[in-house]
Amino acid sequence: MTKAEIVAEIATKTGIEKVAVQASVEAFMETVKTAMVKGDNVYLRGFGSFIVKKRAQKTGRNISKNTTIVIPAHFIPSFKPAKVFLNEVKKSVKK
């Protein structure tokens, strides 16, 4: 599902104009991104958590040059779904 499809779905369900929904979705994403860039986690009860994880320094290999490189410690964004959300997906999604 794309952002445009999400906006269209919300507009249909709420009766709010797509332009207003688009602005709200953009503001939500920007707020989450800004919080995570500052190192803050975002918790949405019943949905999940957008968390910042720290990756430790590690040694990697550049296969094409056959050399060892050091990958420095860094932070990555991550999403952890709430148990209720996770259980709903487990029950309903079929392969």
Rounded to two decimals, what is the model's pTM? 0.79
Q: Which domains does the chain have, with CATH numbers?
A: 3-92 (4.10.520.10)
Has residue 95 got a pLDDT over 80? no
Has residue 5 got a pLDDT over 80? yes
Average pLDDT, the chain: 94
**pLDDT tier at 41, thresholds 50, 70, 90:** very high
47-82 tens-digit pLDDT: 999 999 999 999 999 899 989 999 999 999 999 999
Rounded Cα gap, residues 6 and 77, in angstroms: 22
What percentage of residues in the chain have a pLDDT greater than 90? 88
